[in-house]
Structure 1
Amino acid sequence: MSTITLPFLQDLLKAEYPDVSIEEYEGAPGSKRGDNYTSMVYRITLKGHRNPDTEEKQPWTGSIIYKCLPESILRREAFKSDELFCNEVAFYNKIWPSLSAFQDQWNLAHPFKAIPKCFLAQNDLVILKDLKELGFVMPDRRQGLTVEQCYFVLKHLSHFHALSLAMKCYNPEGFYELLNIQDGISEVFFLSENEEYYRSYYTEAIQNAIAMVEQELQDCPDREKYLARFKSFCSEDTFFQTMVDMVAPREPLAVICHGDCWTNNLLFRYVNGDIAEMYIVDFQLARYSSPALDLAFLLYLCLDRQQRAEHMTSLLEYYTEELHARVTEMSGEHALDRDTLASMIQEEFRESSRFGLGIALDMYPIMTCDSDEAPNLYQAKESEITPSHECVKPVWTSNAACRKKMADLVIELVDEGLL
């Protein structure tokens, strides 16, 4: 946090707190080990006085979130943190201001506002409003989401996606400018040119996943059927290119996706036990692609098999209804009719189910591991002898929860004819 000084903080926050004099600050890790992997997050607590030069002088405290690149050069290179930061900077400096300005033209009764205030975004740091200060909490990554939370997320996600669809209709030139290679968002991971770079990483992740499914299904009479389909999907010759193909945008439904829609990037505020508000954070993996990728990420990673069996159909219908209603508000007669939109969403979601499985290979261990099994981003490892792409390994865990989630997803997709 070498860029942080009192004058820097005072200047940064003067518009938000014009009557405050900041006199002290202190930084501490803003996330637990295992909760993030591509950047370091600090919570900076601030102390000072309101109306410092008057008789009404009062003590004041506040806090902000400071997000920066990992200290380890190897980890930054391995996870392409610099490129991810470029995506997030583009989102806060260009994408969200443009989508928000477009939304404001329509005077919506309930506009989408679930994006945290960003005080500064540049190539090596992002400074955000601290939502914890306002009573927002992040779900436990190992518990996933409740069905109620999932409905709430889908409502906000559909409104976010609708902004892309409506802006493409009314201002296509302005919308596609958001995707330019100079200062727009772009795919970072699943590019054909990255296949060799990530080969050892995904080879190990796949081996771990197959071993867990083999162990979990050892007494299953259809064990070989499930394993054969899973191993075919995980083939070293085709896996990465399959993921590349699935993130490619498909018109006319392609939207700006969040790209990393799981528990650790969702914050909720409760009133009397009910969800009152939520925010979506971390746009490093924002991509232009099918909205079904965000849906697959959310539903296959954050819900368990029983939740999906009982609620998947109604959840997708709810998302479609909200998406259609919001696009219609902003596009009127230009919007797709509800039945056509529903059919397209269903088709793209089925096609994206394998994307959910591909992400799960990497994410299920991250979501279920103990903190001490996760890498410590706040401890720099500067042995620069080993190439970065060989140094950083996927999280390995063989706990019962991870084995069950992985096997359940394989069984689910095979039984539904999706794998």
Structure 2
Amino acid sequence: MSCAPPWVDAALVQRALDAEAASADGEAHAQAPAVRSVSAQPLGAAGENFASRLLRVRAQLEGGAQRSLVLKCEAEDAAVRDSIRQSGFFPREIAFLTRVYPTMQGLLEAAAPGRFPPLAARCLLHGAEPHAFLLLEDLGERGFLTADRVRGLGLRHSLLALSALARLHAASAAALAARPPLARELSCPWRTAREDPFDNVLQLCFGLAGEAALLWPDLPDEYARVLARMKAAVYDKFAALCRPKPGRFNVIVHADYWTNNILFRYEHGVPVEVRVVDYQISHVSSPAMDLLRFLYTSLHQDVLERHMDLLVREYHAALQETLELLGIESPTLKDVWADINAHGFYGLFGAVLSVPFMRAEKGNAPDLDSAFKGEGGISKETYHTCSRFLTYVLKDFRRRGWLCWEEFCDP
């Protein structure tokens, strides 16, 4: 049974396929085969698509052929939808996929023809009525799959994902240099805590994490007290870290670079190629933001513990190589680590907010939309499922000086 909204019909999909055909042929009047019917099914488990709906739309074409597209549209819940509209997430992603990313990919192609396959899905059609939406190519048709978010990524997957991230960062730096107005178009989306209901979600998560941490046998109670004390300040710290730093190396960050937004194509069971999806909060900032988000949410814990230095080093090598091809001076490895250290607290935000959602078994993920509305959706017990990982993260952050310990510990 199809779950497509009533406005997702054969005519809409026809417009998308005709636009694709016209782009491929270079002729505005080119047309695709006629769409006879459409159906849709949810893409991803409940709780995995915060602030939006994600559907796989299947079209039956004239002559018996089929096409599959991915529809991303606004959340059904009016309260979530209205708040997200204030944040401008859909216009931001549309701008990235239709104007910014084509510039980035064009610069890469000009610098090294045929060397760099695309990293983003093609947007065939987008609109704002009756709801904001994007119709995207279905990367699943080309063999791209998500990895196991519950287990976390192994070393091979992690290296490939960081190479892709380095390419995105390098190409975006070139695009910002070629078109400086992009920096204004993709400015930081986060406002003050008073203006943003996301502050309530952060306070809820840090408060619950602090309560849960009191019961973790390998973590001293003082960590729980620090988490509880910092919850009122975490949004402002988070928003300040997201803003670009003048005089530093800034790029267009993905800002939600984690397992479910990174798709892999495999050959003989080995990951060989990557596509990256979901650019709704992309903005100009330090590349450290994406590195910390990825490293402290998406890796298998053993990989994080044993190979973090290697992963940062390989990211830098790929970044440096791509920037040199684009004629842009690269930051040094020391510079990259300096930015990671300066933004370290951002990694804690990612771990506390996101890991319980990311590591939950499919079908049992907490409901972030409900938490966003203040209707529960997450509990103290949620944090017990990932206590081993969060215990490691908290101790590691204190060791690295990223926990703002002196600011929030007992006087």
TM-score bin (small chain): 0.7 to 0.9
Contact 1:201 1:393 in 2 (8 A): no
Distance in 2 (CA, whole Å) between partners of 1:247 and 1:365 is: 22
68, 73, 77: which one aligns with 1:72: 77
The structural deviation recorded for 1:300 is: 0.5
Question: Following TM superposition, by how much is the alpha carbon of 1:320 offset from its aligned partner in structure 2, in angstroms?
Answer: 0.5
**Distance in 1 of aligned mates of 2:58 and 2:258:** 27
The DSSP-based 3-state class of the residue aligned with 2:215 is: helix
Structure-2 change in CA distance of 1:330 and 1:14 (3 Å) = same
CA distance in 2, matches of 1:24, 1:282: 27
In structure 2, the partner of 1:404 is 388
Name the counterpart of 1:35: 48
Among 46, 49, 70, which residue is 2:59 paired with?
46
> What SS class does the counterpart of residue 248 from structure 2 fall into?
coil
Q: Whole-Å Cα distance in 2 between the matches of residues 68 and 78 of structure 1?
A: 14
Q: 1:410 to 1:26 in 2, by over 3 A?
A: same
Q: How many angstroms does 1:364 deviate by?
A: 1.4
Contact 2:202 2:231 in 1 (8 A): no
Residue 49 of structure 2 aligns with an amino acid whose one-letter code is N
TM-score by length of 2: 0.86
- Identical-pair percentage: 22
Q: Secondary structure at the match of 1:179?
A: helix
1:58-88 per-position Cα deviation (integer Å, ceiling 9, x unaligned) = x211110111101111122345576211211
Relative to structure 1, is the Cα distance of residues 219 and 101 closer, same or farther in structure 2, using a 3 angstrom cutoff?
A: closer
Contact 1:93 1:121 in 2 (8 A): no
Gap change, CA 1:82 and 1:47, over 3 Å in 2: farther
- Count of residue correspondences: 384
Q: Distance in 2 between matches of 1:398 and 1:7?
A: 43
Indicate how the Cα distance of structure 1 residues 264 and 389 shifts in structure 2: closer, same or farther if over 3 A, else same. closer
Amino acid at match of 2:45: K
- Counterpart of 2:334 in structure 1 is 343
Note if contact 1:21-1:48 (Cα within 8 Å) is conserved in structure 2.
Answer: yes
Distance in 1 separating the partners of 2:43 and 2:86: 18
Matched-pair contact (CA < 8 Å) for 1:249–1:290: yes
Partner residue in 2 for 1:385: none
Q: Structure 1 residues 376, 229: CA separation in 2 closer, same or farther (over 3 Å shift)?
A: closer
Residues in 2 aligned to 1:305 and 1:389: alpha-carbon distance in whole angstroms = 28
Whole-angstrom CA distance in 1 between matches of 2:351 and 2:153: 16
Work out which of the residue numbers 142, 145, 165 in structure 1 matches 2:150. 142
Aligned to 1:151, the other structure's residue is in SS state helix
| Cα pair 2:244 2:285 within 8 Å, conserved | yes
How far 1:244 sits from its partner (Å)? Answer: 1.6
CA contact (8 A) 1:69 1:81 kept: no
Cα pair distance change 1:195/1:362, threshold 3 Å: farther
Q: Is the CA contact 2:144–2:264 (under 8 Å) kept in the aligned structure 1?
A: yes
1:162 maps to 2:170: yes
Q: Give CA-to-partner distance per residue, 1:354-406, whole Å, 9 cap, x none.
A: 101112221012113342453397xxx9xxxxxx9653546334364322222
Q: Which has the higher contact order (CA 8 A, sep 6+)?
A: 1
- The answer as to whether partners of 1:205 and 1:394 remain within 8 angstroms in 2 is no
Give secondary structure in 1 for the equivalent of 2:62: strand
In the alignment, is the contact (CA less than 8 A) between 2:170 and 2:322 conserved in 1? yes
- Given residue 138 of structure 1, which amino acid in structure 2 is its aligned partner? T
Q: Does 1:11 align with 2:2?
A: no
Deviation at residue 228 of structure 1 after TM alignment:
5.0
